[in-house]
Amino acid sequence: MFSDGLSNRSMTTRSAPSKYLPMLLAVAIFMQMLDTTILNTALPKMAAGLNESPLNMQSAVIAYVLTLALLIPLSGYLVDRFGTRNVFVTAMGLFMTGSLLCAAAPNLPMLVLARVVQGLGGSMLAPVPRLTLMRVYEKSQLLNAINYAVMPALIGPILGPLVGGYLVEYASWHWIFLINLPIGALGIWLALKVMPNIKGEKGRFDMVGFLLFAAAACALSLSVEIITHPGALLFSVLLAAFGAAALWLYREHAKRDEDPIYAGHLLQVRTFRIGLGGNLASRLGISSAPFLLALMFQVALGFSASLSGWLVAPMALASLLVKPLIKPIMTRFGYRKVLIGNTRILGLLIAAVALPPANAPLWVWVALLFGIGLCNSIQFSAMNTLTIADLRPYQTGSGNSLMAVNQQLAMGFGIALGALMLQWFSRSSLAGGNLHTAFRCTFAATGAITFVSGLIFVRLHRSDGQNLVEAKK
């Protein structure tokens, strides 16, 4: 099976790992994180430059996220066939090309197409170096190598909003994409110097399953994205029906195929099934928050782009600071209590964004978003570890891949849903023509969705995740 991008296939070559190899993964993740978080802060300025409404800019975000979700399953297959270094260098080149096209885009449709090109490369940037580390390091060294790579990369989400705010305020929005070029050049240089070109067994790839799953994901995402366009309601319904049919066809295909891209037995694992559902449902509200916040601060409250970046950055800072506390929290309360309680607290905090008036002191926003960042970090760590906790060794590769795809799709759905509700409220009599009121209604609704999603975790047993807690003692 080639869907995982993290499988432990036999290698045609094996070389001693360079001590700089983890740095390559750090550069790749840092660039991706920076690119993702830098964009939200810049959207209002980009909208002005492209003669678009800021409320219609979600397509630029969704196109990238959806492309990532669709192509992640290909990473393992491409690496096995062409080698880690060849795939990574090509992916980085595509990402840089897409970034250059984004900077040159004259309108929103061209920007969306350029973001798709970016996504073609971005889908391989993190999986390929991670897979390389897994194949060249012994298990006893692997955890330290990955931790070394990931910790510097966590700075990306903190710097992203700040860099994006200052670039669009003092330069132009084009620079949020052009900044990827020197970072990408560093990544390619490092790859050519320290990355081995490891290949695996050239086995069979489930192309039929891949195309059916991709068609379902695209159709369902686009049905939510275009529903607000004038006269698009019928087409949106038809897309949703097509997506549902493609998903059903994939399910039937997976039952018959001897090696499907995502095996049906994965969903027979109860904690995996609950984890996927909880990931999807809770991320609908969580994923829309950064997108909506950057728009609200600049479009509705009139804050500068740089101030907006400073206000959003505490979310990422809190996520980083709480990491050492997650293990004691999980040990003390258990996965079931944490996920139920934290999801509900998170829903209340997101809904609370609707409470401060337009002239609220800045410290109110900082404190509120810092709290959301704390809960986000706990939520993601708990959901992700529990989802794969009970998978058998032969299921972990495919399960990891499906979880990653599910997360990206949830982000796309969440942003589309948030934008859909914002546009609906902005036209509704509830807002009375006041854009800030429309944002407040949207946050109240997304918070309610997050709060209700906590019901999914009620189905967990008290002992679920106990093996993870014991393993960490």
Position 256 scores a pLDDT of: 84
pLDDT at residue 89 in the model: 93
Pick the CATH number of 1-204 from 3.30.1130.10, 2.40.160.20, 3.40.430.10, 1.20.1250.20: 1.20.1250.20
What burial letters (b/e) apply to 217-243, b meaning 16+ CB within 10 Å?
A: bbbbbbbbbbbbeeeeeeebeebbebb
**What pLDDT was estimated at residue 141?**
66
Contacts of 398 (CB under 8 A, 6+ apart): 1, 3, 4, 261, 262, 263, 266
Report the pLDDT value the prediction gives residue 356, as an integer from 0 to 100.
95
CATH fold match for the domains 1-204 and 263-473 = yes
pLDDT of residue 300: 92
pLDDT in tens, the chain (473 residues): 433 433 333 344 444 566 777 788 788 888 888 887 888 888 888 998 899 888 888 888 888 988 888 888 787 788 888 888 899 999 999 999 999 999 999 999 999 999 999 999 988 887 887 777 777 776 656 666 666 666 666 677 888 888 888 998 888 899 999 999 999 999 899 889 888 888 777 667 888 988 998 888 888 888 877 776 767 778 888 988 999 999 899 888 888 888 788 877 888 889 899 999 999 999 988 989 988 998 999 999 999 999 999 998 898 889 888 888 888 888 889 889 999 999 999 999 999 999 999 999 999 999 999 999 999 989 988 888 888 888 887 777 778 778 888 888 888 889 889 988 998 898 888 878 899 999 999 999 999 999 999 999 999 888 887 766 664 44
Per DSSP, helices labelled H in 296-395 are: 305-321, 323-352, 362-387
pTM of the model: 0.84
The reported pLDDT for the residue numbered 304 is 92
For the chain, give every domain's residue range: 1-204, 206-260, 263-473
CATH of region 263-473? 1.20.1250.20
59-62 own/partner pairs: CB under 8 Å, 24+ apart = 59/108, 59/112, 59/225, 60/108, 60/111, 60/112, 60/115, 61/115, 61/291, 61/415, 62/221, 62/225, 62/412, 62/415, 62/416
* The pLDDT value given to residue 147: 65
